[in-house]
């Protein structure tokens, strides 16, 4: 997520691990998806983006996301497993290298970031929010499946400064996300719905509510391919500072029963504190 890089890495991590799917659909007996994700573009953040592969398994209201990224994106290790349990009510991140796990608390991290900003006398204002949903039409086949292409475009201006004074800096962020939905139903974890995950820190704002509504209008299917282009510019759309595109595509899809142990915390893992806890 573009604003306030100190406060947004986990929101970005959620966006990356979450397959771009819509909300709850008919339950499959078990499904396994393999995604390949890449980043291209300009700007200092592009080289730090964790391109890589992920394997997503879902069954009986539980989801397992296994990621193997090119770089770590703290607090997410380069290799991680995210378990979404209890119908999305609880999410934990496993670190296989350390045999450790921690409970995911995105809302707590955002509250802590806001408290730090207030303590430092820094004011953040969100203005000029825009959200638009479009049904683009039929898309090209992916994995031999016909697709239906949808688009969500959103943007906002973020002004950060001490009390909103003369030193305040305005940054415009615009995102265009396209999704190619196939014919496969898939119930995603509610805690990681896309594209809302990238805007989690703004859930109680006008744009957060608009994005939640936009997401609910998407098809109840797996997005076999997605692209998301983010443009950051000065002020209200002035000089372009960076532009990056994330592309995610399903390269394998299988159905069948999955072992219940895949959705459980291993007995030999120890719980550690939330890395971003104040």
Confidence of residue 59 (pLDDT cuts 50, 70, 90): confident
Q: Which two tokens stand for residue 238?
A: 């002035």
Q: What is the pLDDT of residue 10?
A: 34
Total number of residues shown for the chain: 278
* Domain contains 34: yes
24 near 187, Cβ under 8 Å?
yes
Give the residue, 115 or 244, on which the prediction is more confident. Answer: 244
Confidence of residue 212 (pLDDT cuts 50, 70, 90): confident
Mean pLDDT of 29-43: 86
pTM, full prediction: 0.75
Instruction: Answer yes or no: is 156 within a domain.
Output: yes
Report yes or no on 2 lying in a domain. Answer: no
Helix axes 106-119, 9-17, angle to 10 degrees: 160
Q: In the 8-state DSSP scheme, what is residue 110?
A: H
pLDDT at 26: 39
In a domain, 130, yes or no: yes
CA dihedral 71, 212, 200, 230 (to 10 degrees): 50
pLDDT of residue 161: 72
Asked whether residue 278 is assigned to any structural domain, the reply reads no
Q: Helix (H, G, I), strand (E, B), or coil: what is residue 125?
A: strand
Beta strands in 143-239, from DSSP E residues, in sequence order: 145-162, 169-181, 223-234
The two three-digit tokens of residue 217, written as one number: 């209008």
% of the chain residues with pLDDT over 70: 68
pLDDT band at 64 (very low <50, low <70, confident <90, very high): very high
3-class secondary structure, 156: strand
| Residue range(s) defining the domain that contains residue 192 | 9-271
Q: Which residues fall within 8 angstroms of residue 73, CB to CB, at 6 or more apart?
A: 9, 12, 13, 16, 48, 49, 50
Domain count within the chain: 1
Comparison of pLDDT for 239 and 160, the residue scoring more: 239
d(CA 184, CA 190): 18
In a domain, 1, yes or no: no
The terminus-to-terminus CA distance of the chain in angstroms comes to 21
Whether the Cβ atoms of residue 226 and residue 180 lie closer than 8 Å to each other? yes
């Amino acid at each position: 997520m573009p604003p306030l890089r100190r406060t947004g890495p986990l929101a970005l991590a959620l966006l990356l691990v979450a397959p771009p799917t819509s909300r709850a659909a008919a339950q499959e007996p078990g499904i396994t998806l393999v995604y390949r994700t890449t980043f291209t573009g300009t700007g200092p953040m592009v080289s730090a983006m964790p391109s890589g592969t992920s394997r997503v398994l879902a069954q009986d209201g539980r989801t397992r996301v296994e990621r193997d990224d090119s770089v770590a994106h703290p607090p997410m290790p380069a290799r991680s497993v995210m378990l979404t349990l209890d119908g999305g009510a609880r999410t934990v991140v496993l670190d296989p290298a350390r045999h450790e796990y921690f409970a995911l608390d995105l809302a707590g991290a955002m509250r802590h970031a806001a408290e730090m900003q207030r303590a430092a006398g820094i004011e953040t204002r969100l203005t000029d929010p825009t959200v638009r949903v479009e049904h683009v039409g039929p898309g090209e086949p992916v994995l031999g499946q016909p697709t239906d292409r949808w688009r969500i475009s959103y943007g906002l201006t973020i002004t950060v400064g001490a009390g909103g004074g003369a030193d305040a800096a305005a940054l415009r962020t615009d995102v265009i996300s396209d999704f190619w939905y196939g014919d496969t139903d898939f119930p995603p974890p509610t805690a990681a719905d896309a594209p809302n995950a990238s805007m989690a820190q703004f859930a109680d704002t006008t744009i957060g509510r608009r994005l939640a509504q936009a997401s609910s209008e998407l098809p109840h299917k797996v997005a076999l391919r997605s692209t998301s282009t983010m443009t950051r510019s000065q002020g209200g759309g002035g000089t372009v500072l960076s532009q990056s595109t994330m592309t995610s595509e399903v390269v394998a899809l299988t159905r069948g029963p999955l072992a219940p142990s895949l959705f459980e915390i291993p007995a030999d893992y120890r719980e550690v504190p939330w890395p971003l806890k104040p």
